[in-house]
Structure 1
Amino acid sequence: MRDLANNLGAVQAVAPAVLSATNTSDPIDLQGFESAAVVINTGAIVSAGDFTAKLQESDTTTSGDFADVAAADLVGTFPASLEAASVVKVGYIGNKRYLRTVLTKNGGTSIAAGAVVIKGHAHQRPVA
């Protein structure tokens, strides 16, 4: 009853790294799950690095089919700019099959960051 790990799926969207350019993750398949959340973890910012985060959705894996998730399909909001040494958590309640994260460089040099998409409400448990 108290075991959360076997009820969630976790997918690394952005491997922790120093990002010096915009990063768009690979599509993440939500099939078999009814909910999702993205967690972005940041470290140091170099030379006033200014990065923003957003979530995109699609019914296919074709890059051109992805569109920004509407605010009504998010639980929480992404900050106007990612801060150093912080964690951002935003839920997804939309109905598309695929998600991807986009960390956009708006200025400065770089940011240390990573992102994980956590898939919840699995159809079959335990989740591998």
Structure 2
Amino acid sequence: MRDIAPNIGITQAVAPAVLSATNTSAAIDLLGFESAAVVINTGAIVSSGDFTPTLQESDTTTPGDFTDVAADRLVGTFPASLTADGVVKVGYIGTKRYVRTVLTKNGGTSIAAGVLVIKGHPADAPVT
């Protein structure tokens, strides 16, 4: 078996928490990496908490410059609604420097969730 840890960077986009409103992460810089994946880990849902995940991209960190990533720049698809006690993994093959995650609340009360962006194929390894 080979160790992948020196070849990936991990950024916590959303700290594990109970979310009761739409959550938009900070901009995540992909500079120095050739690939990325988003991993969403969910726990309990309270009162039919309904959240839709999306990934946005931009060449700048200006909030108004971010747009939803087109389907042809994703490997896999985000579900229309997150489920309890699940894991979602979607790859990003776009060319923008920055990405951010958005968990949009559509209804209900809350969901326990956390989001990681895993960056791969570094220009310089090992990654610390």
Place the TM-score, normalised by the shorter chain, in its bin: over 0.9
Partner in structure 2 of residue 23 of structure 1: 23
Q: Distance in 1 between matches of 2:62 and 2:97?
A: 12
Q: Distance in 1 between matches of 2:120 and 2:54?
A: 19
Matches within 5 A, 1:51-62: 51-62=51-62
- 1:14 equivalent to 2:14? Answer yes
Matches within 5 A, 1:73-112: 73-112=73-112
Structure 1 unmatched runs, 5+: none
Q: Distance in 2 between matches of 1:126 and 1:80?
A: 36
Which residue type is aligned with residue 96 of structure 2? K
Task: State the TM-score, normalizing by the size of structure 2.
Answer: 0.99
Matched position secondary structure for 1:60: coil
Deviation above 2 Å: which 4+ runs of structure 1?
none
Q: CA deviation digits over 1:65-117, x for unaligned, max 9?
A: 00000000000000010000000000000000000000000000000000000
Q: CA deviation digits over 1:31-87, x for unaligned, max 9?
A: 000000000000000000000000000000000000000000000000010000000
Q: Distance in 2 between matches of 1:40 and 1:85?
A: 10
The number of aligned residues is 128
- 1:3 equivalent to 2:33? Answer no
Q: Distance in 2 between matches of 1:80 and 1:15?
A: 21
Displacement, 1:3? 1.2
Which residue type is aligned with residue 48 of structure 1? S
Which residue type is aligned with residue 23 of structure 1? N
Displacement, 1:126? 0.2
Structure 2 unmatched runs, 5+: none
Coordinate RMSD, CA, aligned: 0.7
Matched position secondary structure for 1:125: coil
Q: CA deviation digits over 1:5-24, x for unaligned, max 9?
A: 01000000000000000000
Task: State the TM-score, normalizing by the size of structure 1.
Answer: 0.99
